[in-house]
Structure 1
């Protein structure tokens, strides 16, 4: 046991130093998600149901876009490992251009969805709330992608604290604006769900501008400006960003799509089921974002060692990260189980929603270990730039296993919302096992 710990001690320490600031930043986003859901839910249950549909549709768009931006991390991480600051700066410039183009594409696709939102089978009373909220979030998408470019660059050079502070400050501002605009405080109009959307737009604009200012004017990033200011764009880097970014985007997008399709199916069951689903997704995202914060550290650490062609430490970094995330899963799942009877009441005063939330705790607990496993080894594969097989694994796990299982359990067996949630352990665990087997094969000594 002592020898085992000694083997991984260096990696535990390094991953925690890198990962804790990312996790703290992610926790800020989770607190924001909790605040959004609680404030909107306390204002109106019907607004909470509308927010559930729109937020989950946009989660798919944002996760897909974020996945594309993750293509920058292995490139910058490898260049950082080699000490090539000029190349890293040039990679950021190319990433910004690529991410803005992707943002415009996703915005167009989401606008088409907006025009057809009445065809998704959602309760008719929600449509007047869904439509304006949808448009406000749509306007914020491009700023998410700009922020992500700077964040992935900063993570790749191991400066994870910059994004932590921007996320914490930006999300604190968001929560304050939520309170003022949802409830109409300090003489502002009471806007309800529209107020939540407007505060989202404002905070995303300010966070993107803040990161751009830090990169352009802080001493920490001065050595990267030379490459960033080079005229023109690098065809090879731009091509590499697309080669890495699209497979990651598709992998993460298909995972998120399984949750988005589940939201559509839950909407067929009515507003109470949809509101309960939103509460549980908010709780679930707490665990996911904590795991993914550490997963991002795994990707950075693995990419740094890959740049040095050190396969032994590539493997050890990934396995050390898995140990940490497994421990996080035990702690978080255990805590949520103990609080299961109180969670629904934190978000809404509806007893029906609270009862449904308790019923969903069991499938939630079942998929925590699978979720942690797939996050660990998806990020490890990203770190070694072995991303194309991830698309096929995600397609099998989520489109061939998870989504059909949700429909089968929920509607063929008539288990309702609990049956839809029972599909998640199957999809996430399948992905985790296959990602692990692929990583082990690619890093054999």
Structure 2
């Protein structure tokens, strides 16, 4: 049960369970989309817009989890396990308080939030139901994210994977029961999908909490929560807020872009949901590689192995780019058949196929951002990606989406071109930042030691 020495683990050993976990997270979302597509295309669009808001919440909850992951990795690399245990307890407690407040706000103001998206009237009722049910229990996801980040930083990436497998199984079973109504169970549609999501998360939280106590050898000082140094909270915020800022900026910009797409009509919105559901399977390799790389680099930086960290990032980047291209090509070739799984609407299938084709260009650029930004965060360089991200996401992605998609009438194709420009611009700048080695002296552990 002792903590693993992750500095001795290969990238593959850390990454493959993360890959499975991320895949299953995506399958959970796609299970909702796929099953609802048999129920109603309008329901798919309603849940898609509601999920844009819920993704924003996950980003907000993630800023503490991100700080937790980086701090624990660096402290474990420096062989200071007692402080790593303190950081674990503080982060869980802080995210619990924060997420409960946010969950209540979403529940009380769900309709107003959806109206800000200029949602078509026929979609508002279902979207509001989904957002209320999932939103009020979103604190469950906040704690799962934090506990999962902790377990992965200790090297137990398989545990988080197993929890996700269980959550997916429960979610699919719940979806089936409430959407198709076997055995006389009432058909609840969107409401049923929301209930299924909440129930599976509740069980997942119980299991991952038990694993947290079981896997970490150092006693977790929950009884001393109010006596632990306040500096831990400050350090979590110091690292987490800038890290979350980049994610928050991205998701906020995506909300605005979704607003533009809503202007194009329900068909365009549904096409976007289906296309992005497929695109997730393309970039999940880069997501897994970037998270595994962050764990390794965090430990290496904590141990003072700067040159090893530098080379690890570049190797991971090359691998992520190669895999994203090789994965995108067959998805583009079989896009019609894949989209036909979700819908029989020929207009949606044709447009969605064009978007998947453009993804061959988009995804390598996304790989730059996923891998290099996570490496910079692991090294303690968390502010620079935020500054560049805000400039590019809003100056390029949002602005060009409106100019090409709305003003010049290119629709979703114009939006996808804007996203390509944004990902590649940010990605190249991040790579130059990594090569500059400015991040070498930004390690939290090294700064404290000095």
Q: TM-score range by the shorter chain?
A: over 0.9
**1:254·1:398 contact (CA, 8 Å) conserved in 2?**
yes
1:345 aligns with 2:346: no
Distance 1:384 1:103 in 2: 27
Identify which range, 173-182 or 64-73, moves more after superposition: 64-73
Contact kept in structure 2, 1:87 and 1:227, CA below 8 Å: no
Unmatched 5+ stretches in structure 2: 1-5, 442-450
Is the Cα–Cα contact under 8 Å of residues 68 and 248 in structure 1 kept in the other structure?
no
1:18: which partner in 2?
14
1:131-156 alpha-carbon deviations (Å, 9 max, x no partner)? 11110120231011101111111111
Name the counterpart of 2:74: 78
In 2: Cα distance, 1:154 partner to 1:119 partner: 37
Q: Which residue of 2 aligns with 1:225?
A: 219
| Match status 1:304 vs 2:299 | yes
Tell me the distance in 1 between the aligned counterparts of 2:219 and 2:288.
Answer: 27
**What runs of 5+ residues in structure 1 fail to find an aligned partner?**
1-9
How far apart in 2 are the matches of 1:364 and 1:68? 31
The counterpart of 1:132, out of the listed 115, 129, 134, is: 129
Cα deviation, residue 104, structure 1: 3.4
Q: Secondary structure at the match of 2:55?
A: helix
How far off is 1:325 after superposition?
0.9
State the alpha-carbon separation in 2 of the partners of residues 314 and 67 from structure 1: 23
Which residue among 17, 21, 35 is the counterpart of 1:39? Answer: 35
Match of 1:164 in 2: 161
Correspondence for 1:193 among 190, 195, 198: 190
Task: Specify which of 334, 358, 363 is matched with residue 368 of structure 1.
Answer: 363
Q: 1:75-96: CA deviations, max 9, x gaps?
A: 1001111222211111111111
1:131 and 1:349 map into 2 onto residues whose CA distance is: 27
Indicate if the aligned counterparts of 1:21 and 1:160 stay in contact, CA closer than 8 A: yes
CA deviation string 1:171-229 (max 9, x = no partner): 1211111111111123211011111111111111111111111122x2x32x2224455
For residues 62 and 440 of structure 2, the distance between their equivalents in structure 1, rounded to whole angstroms, comes to 30
- Residues in 2 aligned to 1:17 and 1:360: alpha-carbon distance in whole angstroms: 34
Partner of residue 253, structure 1: 248
Counterpart secondary structure, 2:219: helix
Q: Could you report, residue by residue, the CA deviation over 1:101-151 in whole angstroms, capped at 9, with x for unpaired residues?
A: 331353355454532423432211111111111101202310111011111
What is residue 3 of structure 2 aligned with on the other side?
none
Q: Which residue of 1 aligns with 2:181?
A: 184
Tell me if structure 1 keeps the 8 A contact 2:147–2:208: yes
Secondary structure of 1:396's match?
helix
Tell me if structure 2 keeps the 8 A contact 1:42–1:349. Answer: no
Count of residue correspondences: 433
Measured after TM superposition, the shift of residue 260 of structure 1 is 2.3
Question: TM-score, length-normalised on structure 1?
Answer: 0.93
The alpha-carbon distance between structure 1 residues 289 and 105, as it changes in their structure 2 partners (threshold 3 A), is farther
Aligned residue in 1 for 2:380: 385
Deviations 1:316-337 (CA, angstroms, capped at 9, x unpaired): 1111211221122122211211
Question: Which residue of structure 2 lines up, in the alignment, with residue 395 of structure 1?
Answer: 390
Segment of structure 1 superposing worse, 124-133 or 259-268: 259-268
Say if 1:378 and 1:390, in contact at 8 Å, map to a contact too. Answer: yes
Q: Whole-Å Cα distance in 2 between the matches of residues 108 and 386 of structure 1? A: 33
Q: Residues 150 and 212 of structure 1 are in contact (CA less than 8 Å); yes or no, is this contact kept in structure 2?
A: yes
Aligned 8 A contact 1:95 1:149 in 2: yes
- Give the alignment partner of residue 155 of structure 1, picking from 152, 156, 166: 152
Stretch of structure 1 that moved more, 286-295 or 367-376 = 286-295
Does the aligned pair in 1 maintain the 2:110–2:131 contact within 8 Å?
no
Q: Residue 60 of structure 1 corresponds to which residue in structure 2?
A: 56
CA–CA distance in 2 between the matches of 1:109 and 1:188?
Answer: 32
Query: Which stretch of the first structure deviates more once superposed, 367-376 or 326-335?
Result: 326-335
Q: Which moved more, 1:27-36 or 1:309-318?
A: 27-36
* Counterparts in 2 of 1:62 and 1:340: CA distance versus 1, 3 Å: same
Q: Hey, what does 2:446 align to over in structure 1?
A: none
How far apart in 1 are the matches of 2:387 and 2:235?
Answer: 20
Q: Go from structure 1 to structure 2 and tell me whether the alpha carbon gap of 1:352 and 1:25 turns closer, same or farther (over 3 Å shift).
A: same
